[in-house]
């Protein structure tokens, strides 16, 4: 096959580069956010998740601590720095997921998958609006005031995580169509996205599952992008090689009777 005829080679390479950037920058970013909270429920997992799901002043105190807590200033500074750098992370994960879905859509010749590439972009926009609200909430808390933005915060937070979950479902569905050996990976990705609904509904108990729910699909997509890029560069073949399957000669099963000619007619 001519390399120019590969339907998604450039998109797979873009997904691979974006995915590696997400992996590296995400590791650095996670260490930037505060690693401990004052008294947030352990069910939230990371303190940044507890901050995203705050509903009142008591929740803010649980995350950052009261003025008498010597760690309050450090937590506030780390949270602000992390959220400032989070904007770059949004661009990276949106590019990774969108290019991966476009690549899958072109491989499988599926318009719905191409349309699904808009889901992570919408999720990143919700994430950006969420961050804008968090900055306002944190500034008001630092000044000892209450921010009206807290009433609006649940909507972009829930929308972001649900859109990412639906994105993973689309990725899992696409992987399951690539072949028998991909079916298990696709199924696992879809199942891993299910706890997102519980986490959004009861974050104090299931918030910790959000990282794994999103990460399952991201890891699978990154591995797929690596395999597809290697096939395109080294073998000059697409990931979903339908042409090879269609051109494979069909052989009669062992033991099957072969047709015989008798008096000019074919009999079985």
234 vs 99, more confident: 99
Q: What is the pTM of this model?
A: 0.88
> CB-hemisphere CA count at 13 Å for 168?
28
Which segments of the chain are extended strands (E)? 260-262, 265-267
Confidence of residue 7 (pLDDT cuts 50, 70, 90): confident
Domain definitions of the chain by residue range: 8-239
Read off the pLDDT of residues 118-165 as tens digits, 9 standing for 90 and up: 999 999 999 999 999 999 999 999 999 999 999 999 999 999 999 999
164 contacts: CB under 8 Å, gap ≥ 6: 97, 119, 120, 123, 196, 214
């Amino acid at each position: 096959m001519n390399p120019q005829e590969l339907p998604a080679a450039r998109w797979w390479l873009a997904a691979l580069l974006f995915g590696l950037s997400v992996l590296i920058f995400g590791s650095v970013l996670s260490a930037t956010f505060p690693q401990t909270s004052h008294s947030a429920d352990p069910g939230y997992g990371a303190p940044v998740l507890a901050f995203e799901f705050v509903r009142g002043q008591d929740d803010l105190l649980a995350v950052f601590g009261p003025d008498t807590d010597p760690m309050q200033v450090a937590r506030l500074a780390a949270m602000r720095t992390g959220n400032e750098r989070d904007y770059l992370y949004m661009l990276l994960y949106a590019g990774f997921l969108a290019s991966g879905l476009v690549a899958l859509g072109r491989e499988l010749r599926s318009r719905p998958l191409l349309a699904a590439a808009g889901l992570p972009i919408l999720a990143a926009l919700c994430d950006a609006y969420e961050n804008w609200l968090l900055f306002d909430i944190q500034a008001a808390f630092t000044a000892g005031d209450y921010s009206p933005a807290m009433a609006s915060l649940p909507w972009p937070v829930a929308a972001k995580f649900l859109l990412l979950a639906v994105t993973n479902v689309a990725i899992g569905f696409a992987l399951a169509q690539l072949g028998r050996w991909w079916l298990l990976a696709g199924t696992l990705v879809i199942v891993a996205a299910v706890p997102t609904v519980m986490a959004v509904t009861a974050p104090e108990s299931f918030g910790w599952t959000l990282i794994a729910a999103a990460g399952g699909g991201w890891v699978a997509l990154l591995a797929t992008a690596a395999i597809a890029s290697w096939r395109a560069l080294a073998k000059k073949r697409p990931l979903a090689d339908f042409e090879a399957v269609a051109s494979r000669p069909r052989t009669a099963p062992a033991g099957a009777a072969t047709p015989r000619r008798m008096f000019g007619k074919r009999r079985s």
